[in-house]
Structure 1
């Protein structure tokens, strides 16, 4: 398949008409262009200087340099990349590069190191040129993704051919024709996902499945073929994704193969076919829609896909398959719209109204009808939208709307990734990078772009929601719903079973309780009338959850606790999205459900449709806190209001996380920002109240240090807070000046005790936070308040390694803002002290071993304590900070952010990337589990709704894959932990 043929016979690239883009800074853009021209001149690329005479080309290139840091860095280093475009069309140049990639594996003297270098350099050049074609408007989105896919395909093919020849020369294989090494080689490389569909995105990884044709004449020893081809596959991944001085080629993912936790990297075809026919799941059928042989033994790959066709394209769709499609659908439907979408921070791939919903819209209908209609068996999303319309499955309006917005969203995805060549799909939250995306999209301002982006999401979501509603008709969900009298109606029991309830008689009993007015919320006739009208909708909504009976029982508990029901029932009747949200909570989050049951008023916060449009930033929360506190001055009233505010906004942050409006990392920051604000406000209230009796200390200053997850801004919904209170005062101040004066040290000690009580003492409104002050100097033996001088001295002379490790996460969160800078500098200075690296490594290893002995993990889901879990990652980050191996500031940084700044001399960049991904994975999973469950919940008691949320957060199809990924990640992190710390211990 050829890409971008439109300009093959056209003009040289730089003489073409280009899309006009607006820079962030015109002066900077002009300066960068001159810097490029000067760099080109120094590197004997003098022809590039002629761009000054080409207004269109110079303008376009200067804006690209200004808007994309990634492209700027590459072009300033290697201006020769664009010199050929002065003479030839872009597609002509790309075709030549594809040919160079294809030929780089040929020759007798090719080495693995040599091909790794050549592939990286050619990939980089092609990558930049494809971006220029995309940004200039010369390439459409389909041409851009096609070129990116061809680039990946050529790189994989070149590496595979090299490895096959190498195995032949080493006597591991006997190729029938070494000059054409892939022919009858038996090594089948299937491209999956976007690479399989020629839809690869700009910074995508590539999904591959590797099979072995055991009948291949190239196989010398049938008993060794799995090991031989698995070893070759491992080398293939290394060639493609290991980071070297030249970068990487493509990140490579092999996890779509059958049962990846227990199968080799290369799987015999017979074993794979047996798996798919006996244990294959519908999501794997969906994945196979996009499969195609991309390298190796192409003919054998085609034969495999032909044998799999009956599995993928079933002639008849049974009810179990329909139910499974519904289950997959629920994973995305669970976070379907609840009000406006926040544009900044939105995941354009996985978020509401995003690319994944369009792909799912298409693939679901392909699964249902592809067995009967061969026209629906294609892999490309846009082509299949046209085919669905051609067969009358969707309207012309749905086709055109989804095609248009698919192209728009894919463009946005590419612009996000062109900022730093990162595999991210999330729109930046900060102004500068958000505007970079808007300007690269051709907009002159962020507001218009945000409006169009939101419109696209809403349009996609509307069509996706309509598909979900239509799909419910497939199972014929109709029947009797009669709940009068004391005897169960037989037809009603059948209807409830059809809906998905396992204990229909119990459900009948619960609903009769509602209708008979036995709860306060159902005592009024009007309330019962509203609930009666709502009952069929409720039953349908709860019926599609995985444990419908449990979810409805939780809803019953909530009704039982309501003082009145008319308002809620009316809202649910008129607001289906609110009902979706309530069903989600009852089905997936027992902890949140119990909060609503105990405090029904907290549900009121969800009635504001804007909560999902607003990212819960510190400024957002601060504004609402001040409005909520209002003129309150009475100490007890302030504390109660703070408790109400904190519990409501913890809940609302959790709801945003539950629905996918924010991810785990963003939730951690929001929970931490909320804690900062209420702790600071509590401290101010305590100081004022305390001063009214005891006065103040001359020159007195207070700062509360947040430690642990509060310090690193990674709090979860159920976290307690670790604090240290530091104070200072005039040197000659001996006691306070109030009616009941106190000596300075006693003053601050008692004030701290009052703060602890203000935060953690239970009142009618509950507890603000469980508070832990054990990280203060000398722990429980030391005073609860510490003078700044004593803190300095202790940290420099008496502190243990573990205390300095804890200090790496220290951050001022409340108190005298002028005092913060001094404390931050002090913490920075302490962390920068010269240390014995080997001793620190030994202390870290010993401490981890002690924790493992004294506090072993409960099970594999105890992600904090499992070997290779969160503690290992935190210890690696803290070790790096203490040994000066982190680039840039560390205060207020999460573990993932610190790991992302590791010195390459300490940890290989590829390994650091893996650690960051591990931290992000653990954060996503932990945030959801802590939000949805109580601490003592065992894995076997996880509600299925939570499983679907975890699959969505990890972008994996089922819980088995999530568990496999967590296990694989833990093994990898522990391996890195041991290798790094033990090597440092010996140094």
Structure 2
């Protein structure tokens, strides 16, 4: 078959073939004229084919000598033949990579030159991945059994590792250049038999799974076979690499999320197994509900909104997967019907989208016309996706923006011009988006127009005097001269900036609409100034102007938040991507459950390629900012009291910290391996994070630093498992440095959190991470009294159960040391007076909430003194890290009188509330003394406990 090439492609063909012949002059001699023609066309259309031919000419030329004659090659037999003499893992890696390269060149040839059907192409791509996984698994299973024995259950029955293919691999719809999402499981616990030293099944299958991932994912001199993504497994990156059937079932039934139901729709055990039916029946109740489940539509709406936000944030243009009417919307439409009806209509329990579509017609969910629109669009978009990925074996769904690749795409599709292609693409995607909108019922746009007088005012068609007079008449609550000046200054500023025609048009509609909505607002001049502060940051970003104009309620929410809080105004102005959060008021004012922050973050991170660290770091920052906005909105709406606000902010920080550690661990372990005691997951990471201060006391504010100390629990002389092995202590040092880098690097969206590590042993001069035994020794032998005070509020927020318990033991041993009362009092009084003299900003008229006499720090020092003074006699005092909990326990132990406990607790909560209010208005921690009373009661208790 000869494709029609444009002049540009003919020139490219000449250049590419000359480049190949210059390096491999005689290789093409074995090809017939027809085969040579196909070769020339393939290297013209695909840089991947050209580069593969340059890298492995004999391997690639063999493809053109023996074109595919069957619909699906016998990959299994071909692989088994090549692996029959495989001696070690290095040779396994080489065979897997060479085989994949050769077969992918064959698929590219058939896709680009011979125009095979989409169905055949997807079947080949999926089957190739299946057989590479299975062949590698079979070889590695034999290899591991020779080394560690055969895994068995309690009855002595052999156990096997099963591999779930997820996503497009599971649906047998794999695209040309794709990650493969996998989940590993095995039937039952037990231990290995047939070797000198048995290991348990969890260790065996973890080691086997690690080797299987490396056989596909690891980059060698031959490249890699597939990017393997394990983040869809239960608990994500923080979870075990493999789970038993029972553990999987427990997870999905007890903790499975809506998005995991979508993911499990396509889950498929790769290869033949006697456990297929057992696994299917185990997971089916989680995926398919017996009742008609309409809740999935709301879940899908949220997922789609998150994707739309991602498209805006990444400024994705011409994305045929994530854009409106793209592949993802077609998948969502089909999957929604599967989840709603699949529990009752068994025919919908299929993995392949193209198989489900006609079933939806048969069951009456959609009509034949709907089906044709979706199917033709899906086939067209998937064909385009495969072609643009085959150009360079690159995972992309974005249309090419250079003429050469555009011409390549047109040649394969036999479309004459780029304009014709875009018109056909728009027809398909518009049809899909209409079906999608009808299904999920997204909020309709707000095309409300403002009164013409407000338009006239904005365009300054009247004189200053006329404008102010009109405002006096129409907006009775306004200080018209101030409003007019604010508006005038903003117009002057934006007039000097490059907005573009579309941006200017939207702004000219948006400002009058804003003024109209503020007409009856008694704080109009303040609110207008704040909203325009946000506008000034987005006037050159038309997408955000359109978001505010088009989405019902978004502008209203922005006005409401800006009116309530100067801090929120500054926050949105600093990070305009937060405007996405205003679209859904229900979501905005309802922060997640405390336990859900980690799950929501994991869901967001799953959509980012594992190797894209920059995107991951941006996503972490954007997640923090969006969740803090939701918490602030809930505070403004009086949904959350101050104590719960801090609980949410602390839970958010802990979820982010955990994700950062997982990212850092992945990066460091890829280079150095992991400490040997962590290899089998028995001690997880052997790494712990101790939180101090507001983080430890669950009292974080919106701008709080994180006071942290890193510890590890490696064995003496322990090293890592990688080819570049290092001592475990050095591994943990590099891990800590990587964590700091992820937190502190300034990205477009700022830093993640300020980390304060000064409370570690020996402060800034000490090591960044120390062994827990070293930490304990320092606390017992070298720590100052103020460091023991800090330990009162300390708790471990990351680490396995063993490490957490060891820290608790250390903390309690230190806090319960016998102490000499007079010396303890003197140390605490001296430290407090030193802090007050250096830090307190109180005056006759204003009170420093934190450092003033009778303020927050005095209350905190009282709690710490009483714990250090009496923990030796009353171990219950060490159960709490928060001040209110300590005061309650002191009352129960008769170490505080009831009136004292009430005054301390009341003033502590009141001062914290005042501090939150001041923060929300950017007013600092100095407040008018008339706003707060009761400091004298705190001073009286201070004198009674520490001076009298």
TM (norm. structure 2) is 0.51
Structure with higher Rg: it is: 2
Instruction: Encode CA deviations 1:315-334: one digit per residue, 9 max, x unaligned.
Output: 213xxx42243122332157
Is the CA contact (8 Å cut-off) linking 2:533 and 2:573 kept in structure 1? no
Instruction: Identify the match of residue 210 of structure 1 among 171, 184, 193.
Output: 184
Residue 292 (structure 1) aligned with residue 275 (structure 2): no
Q: Name the counterpart of 1:923.
A: 618
Cα pair distance change 1:19/1:619, threshold 3 Å: farther
Q: Name the counterpart of 1:166.
A: 143
Q: Name the counterpart of 1:381.
A: 353
Cα distance, 1:619 vs. partner?
9.5
Q: Name the counterpart of 1:307.
A: 282
2:202 aligned counterpart, secondary structure = helix
Instruction: Encode CA deviations 1:782-840: one digit per residue, 9 max, x unaligned.
Output: xxxxxxxxxxxxxxxxxxxxxxxxxxxxxxxxxxxxxxxxxxxxxxxxxxxxxxxxxxx
Distance 2:237 2:309 in 1: 35
Residue 969 (structure 1) aligned with residue 663 (structure 2): yes
Cα distance, 1:309 vs. partner?
2.2
Distance 1:410 1:603 in 2: 47
Distance 2:375 2:172 in 1: 16
Cα distance, 1:91 vs. partner?
4.1
Is the CA contact (8 Å cut-off) linking 1:357 and 1:461 kept in structure 2? yes
Distance 1:245 1:286 in 2: 37
Residue 95 (structure 1) aligned with residue 67 (structure 2): no
Is the CA contact (8 Å cut-off) linking 1:45 and 1:83 kept in structure 2? yes
CA RMSD, Structure 1 to Structure 2 (Å): 5.4
Counterparts in 2 of 1:337-356, with a 5 A limit? Answer: 345-356=317-328
Instruction: Encode CA deviations 1:484-519: one digit per residue, 9 max, x unaligned.
Output: xxxxxxxxxxxxxxxxxxxxxxxxxxxxxxxxxxxx
Counterparts in 2 of 1:308-327, with a 5 A limit? Answer: 308-317=283-292, 321-327=293-299
Cα distance, 1:395 vs. partner?
1.1
Q: Name the counterpart of 2:431.
A: 459
Distance 1:284 1:207 in 2: 13
Is the CA contact (8 Å cut-off) linking 2:668 and 2:735 kept in structure 1? no
Is the CA contact (8 Å cut-off) linking 1:184 and 1:217 kept in structure 2? no
Distance 1:659 1:101 in 2: 58
Instruction: Identify the match of residue 209 of structure 2 among 233, 242, 255.
Output: 233
Cα distance, 1:94 vs. partner?
6.9
Is the CA contact (8 Å cut-off) linking 2:341 and 2:348 kept in structure 1? yes
Q: Name the counterpart of 1:46.
A: 29
Instruction: Identify the match of residue 29 of structure 1 among 3, 13, 19.
Output: 13
Distance 1:312 1:385 in 2: 19
Is the CA contact (8 Å cut-off) linking 1:351 and 1:660 kept in structure 2? no
Instruction: Encode CA deviations 1:848-894: one digit per residue, 9 max, x unaligned.
Output: xxxxxxxxxxxx999xxx9xxx9xxxxxxxxxxxxxxxxxxxxxxxx
Cα pair distance change 1:361/1:125, threshold 3 Å: same
Distance 1:314 1:625 in 2: 50
Cα distance, 1:368 vs. partner?
1.1
Is the CA contact (8 Å cut-off) linking 2:152 and 2:192 kept in structure 1? yes
Cα distance, 1:445 vs. partner?
2.6
Instruction: Encode CA deviations 1:244-281: one digit per residue, 9 max, x unaligned.
Output: 11010111111112222442100011111122222223
Distance 1:343 1:408 in 2: 24
In structure 2, stretches of 5+ residues that fail to align are 456-482, 492-496, 509-531, 552-570, 577-595, 640-651, 672-730, 739-948
Distance 1:401 1:602 in 2: 51
Is the CA contact (8 Å cut-off) linking 2:503 and 2:540 kept in structure 1? no
Cα pair distance change 1:111/1:936, threshold 3 Å: same
Instruction: Identify the match of residue 361 of structure 1 among 333, 340, 344.
Output: 333
Counterparts in 2 of 1:44-123, with a 5 A limit? Answer: 44-48=27-31, 50-51=32-33, 54=34, 60-85=38-63, 88-92=66-70, 95=73, 97-107=75-85, 110-123=87-100
Cα pair distance change 1:268/1:960, threshold 3 Å: farther
Q: Name the counterpart of 1:263.
A: 239
Q: Name the counterpart of 1:549.
A: none
TM (norm. structure 1) is 0.49
Instruction: Identify the match of residue 414 of structure 2 among 412, 432, 442.
Output: 442
Counterparts in 2 of 1:200-599, with a 5 A limit? Answer: 200-214=174-188, 224-295=200-271, 298-317=273-292, 321-332=293-304, 345-469=317-441
Cα distance, 1:347 vs. partner?
2.1
Is the CA contact (8 Å cut-off) linking 1:103 and 1:158 kept in structure 2? no
Residue 193 (structure 1) aligned with residue 167 (structure 2): yes
Distance 2:407 2:328 in 1: 24
1:449 aligned counterpart, secondary structure = helix
Instruction: Encode CA deviations 1:184-207: one digit per residue, 9 max, x unaligned.
Output: 542111111111111001110111
Instruction: Encode CA deviations 1:762-801: one digit per residue, 9 max, x unaligned.
Output: xxxxxxxxxxxxxxxxxxxxxxxxxxxxxxxxxxxxxxxx
Instruction: Encode CA deviations 1:39-72: one digit per residue, 9 max, x unaligned.
Output: 5544x55212x33xx3xx6555434323322221
Distance 1:147 1:430 in 2: 29
Instruction: Identify the match of residue 136 of structure 1 among 113, 135, 158.
Output: 113
2:16 aligned counterpart, secondary structure = helix
Instruction: Identify the match of residue 146 of structure 1 among 106, 112, 123.
Output: 123
Q: Name the counterpart of 2:524.
A: none
Q: Name the counterpart of 1:126.
A: 103
Cα distance, 1:99 vs. partner?
2.4
Cα distance, 1:358 vs. partner?
0.6
2:132 aligned counterpart, secondary structure = helix
Is the CA contact (8 Å cut-off) linking 1:203 and 1:422 kept in structure 2? yes
Cα pair distance change 1:941/1:156, threshold 3 Å: farther
Distance 1:316 1:290 in 2: 20
Distance 1:408 1:378 in 2: 22
Cα distance, 1:410 vs. partner?
0.8
Distance 1:963 1:157 in 2: 36
How many matched pairs?
A: 562
Cα pair distance change 1:77/1:186, threshold 3 Å: closer
Q: Name the counterpart of 2:133.
A: 156
In structure 1, stretches of 5+ residues that fail to align are 1-16, 177-182, 473-536, 542-554, 569-595, 605-617, 630-641, 662-714, 721-859, 871-911, 945-957
Is the CA contact (8 Å cut-off) linking 1:22 and 1:444 kept in structure 2? no
Cα pair distance change 1:936/1:190, threshold 3 Å: closer
Cα pair distance change 1:26/1:351, threshold 3 Å: same
Distance 1:379 1:942 in 2: 44
Cα distance, 1:284 vs. partner?
2.1
Distance 2:225 2:145 in 1: 24
Cα pair distance change 1:626/1:376, threshold 3 Å: closer
1:299 aligned counterpart, secondary structure = coil
Cα distance, 1:170 vs. partner?
0.9
Counterparts in 2 of 1:638-653, with a 5 A limit? Answer: 646-650=536-540, 652-653=542-543
Instruction: Encode CA deviations 1:289-331: one digit per residue, 9 max, x unaligned.
Output: 2111114x722244211222233222213xxx42243122332
Is the CA contact (8 Å cut-off) linking 1:718 and 1:930 kept in structure 2? no
Cα distance, 1:960 vs. partner?
12
Instruction: Encode CA deviations 1:191-233: one digit per residue, 9 max, x unaligned.
Output: 1111111100111011111111117897779972112211211
2:270 aligned counterpart, secondary structure = strand
1:24 aligned counterpart, secondary structure = helix
Cα pair distance change 1:366/1:174, threshold 3 Å: closer
Distance 1:468 1:188 in 2: 36
Is the CA contact (8 Å cut-off) linking 1:344 and 1:434 kept in structure 2? no
Is the CA contact (8 Å cut-off) linking 1:19 and 1:60 kept in structure 2? no
Q: Name the counterpart of 1:479.
A: none
Q: Name the counterpart of 1:780.
A: none
Cα distance, 1:348 vs. partner?
1.7
Distance 2:294 2:490 in 1: 34
